[in-house]
Amino acid sequence: MVSDLPPLLALTGPTASGKTEVGVELALRLGTEIISADSVQVYRHFDIGSAKPGKETLARVRHHLIDVADPDAEFNVAMYRDLAGETARRLWSAGKLPLVAGGSGLYLRGLTQTLHGGARLGPDVEAELDLIIESEGQLGLYARLQKADSERAARIHPNDAFRTRRALGVYLSTGQTMTSLFRENPQKPAFDALIVALELPRELLYRRIEERVGRMLAAGWREETARLAAMGYNDTKPMASIGYRTLRQQLAGALGPDEARQAIIKETKAFARRQLTWLRSAKAAVTVTVKEDDIPDEIARRILAGDQVGRFLARHGVRVRP
């Protein structure tokens, strides 16, 4: 039974929805610690652009899975799943409800729904995939996946480069589609997971994104990018993430400051829309609406007062602190 599995409560939502602040309030009321689910915060030195929690926040609640990898090191969703899963089980053994907070749908899927081990892509296959992308682009890669594994392709957005590459790479490596591999080896969840998603009116979300980008730039995001480039991290995965790649263009003289700011805002809004698309399809998601004047403590109280969350906590004997 699912209820026999260790519990895991996940707080997610689009970028700039206030997950970090609400997560801290939840952790304090639940007497626990936070496992980050952010695909850039795992890397050391990428601080401002990934909106890592500051010293005061970290002093209030311990956070895991932040600064666990060098920028030029391999880190993927399977590694995240293993590290986060191990941390969650350790917290539960210590009597603390595992609380995950972050906006990476890929990481959350890997942790709450588990991942198929699949095949390890060798250098030859990686090189072949690179050539396809170079000559045919992402849409060409996706078209090849449609021919090889139409069922899997239908579950992946044409612009989702990571999942398209992985699915086609598995086929090229094994001669089997991911669809057939999943069918032959059905997955079992590792946790009794409940996902809580923050939802904001689109106008409010977009305004928060614009304001946050402005604050991050004022805090030295451009200078951080220049420093990371000088450290030799130009061609790393985190340097290709939102904002950093645009600021590299500004540093190279291809964009002016205002052009760069507007480009980052546009890209961040597009990312938020993709996050919302995933959240609408997420299994076992409880939606909590955030209004303009809501403060993190009030949102946390509202989450914990919800029927589904209450039943989830009671099922595992978790008490909420007053």
CATH number at residue 38: 3.40.50.300
322 inside domain: no
* Shared-domain flag, residues 228 and 100: yes
Are 71 and 130 in a shared domain?
Answer: no
Query: What's the pLDDT at 118?
Result: 52
pLDDT tens per residue, the chain (322 residues)? 556 899 999 999 999 999 999 999 999 999 999 999 999 999 999 999 999 999 999 999 999 999 999 999 988 887 898 999 999 999 999 999 999 999 988 789 889 875 554 556 666 777 788 888 888 889 999 999 999 999 999 989 898 887 898 889 888 877 888 888 777 766 678 899 999 999 999 999 999 999 999 999 999 999 999 999 999 999 898 999 999 999 999 999 999 999 999 999 999 999 999 888 888 877 668 999 999 999 999 999 999 999 999 999 999 999 999 8
- Tokens found for residue 144: 């090849």
Locate 176 and state its tokens.
């089997």
43 found inside a domain: yes
Statement to judge: residues 10 and 105 lie in one domain: yes
pLDDT of the residue at 173: 78
Range(s) of the domain holding residue 174? 123-184
pLDDT at 119: 58
Q: What is the pLDDT of residue 16?
A: 96
Which of 145, 160, 184 finishes a domain? Answer: 184
The answer to the question of residue 297 being in a domain is: yes
**Are 251 and 305 within one domain?**
yes
What is the model's pLDDT at position 121? 65
Find where tokens 């390890």 sit.
120
**Interaxial angle between packed helices 307-315 and 296-305, expressed in degrees from 0 to 180 and rounded to the nearest 10:** 70
Buried b (16+ CB within 10 A) or exposed e, 134-165: eeeeeeebbbbbbebbeebbeebeeebeebbb
Q: Is residue 289 in a domain?
A: yes
| pLDDT of the residue at 114 | 59
CA distance 122 to 225: 31
Contact 49, 74 (CB under 8 A): no
Nearest one of 277, 233, 292 to 17, comparing CA atoms: 292
- 175 shares a domain with 154: yes
Q: Show the tokens assigned to 249.
A: 């263009």
Number of domains in the chain: 2
Same domain, residue pair 94 and 161: no
**Is 176 found in the same domain as 295?**
no
Pull the structure tokens for residue 76: 């993927």
How far is it, in rounded angstroms, from Cα 109 to Cα 163? 12
pLDDT at 76: 82
Task: For the beta carbon of residue 35, count every other beta carbon within 10 angstroms.
Answer: 27
Indicate whether 321 belongs to any domain. no
Residues 85 and 132 in one domain: no
Three-state secondary structure along the chain? CHHHCCEEEEEECCCCCCHHHHHHHHHHHHCCCEEECCCCCCECCCCCCCCCCCHHHHHHCCEECCCCECCCCCCCHHHHHHHHHHHHHHHHHCCCCCEEECCCHHHHHHHHCCCCCCCCCCHHHHHHHHHHHHHHHHHHHHHHHHHHCHHHHCCCCCCCHHHHHHHHHHHHHHCCCHHHHHHHCCCCCCCEEEEEEEECCHHHHHHHHHHHHHHHHHCCHHHHHHHHHHCCCCCCCHHHCCCHHHHHHHHCCCCCHHHHHHHHHHHHHHHHHHHHHHHHHCCCEEEEECCCCCCHHHHHHHHHHCHHHHHHHHHCCCCCCC
223 shares its domain with 160? no
Q: Do 202 and 303 belong to one domain?
A: yes
d(CA 168, CA 267): 26
Distance CA 235, CA 245 (A): 10
Do 43 and 192 reside in the same domain of the chain?
A: yes
Closest CA to 87 of 41, 39, 34: 34
The domain boundary, picked from 151, 169, 184, lies at: 184
* Domain closes at, from 150, 165, 184: 184
Residues 99 and 27: beta-carbon distance below 8 Å: yes
> Is 320 within a domain?
no
- β-sheet bridge partners, residue 289: 199
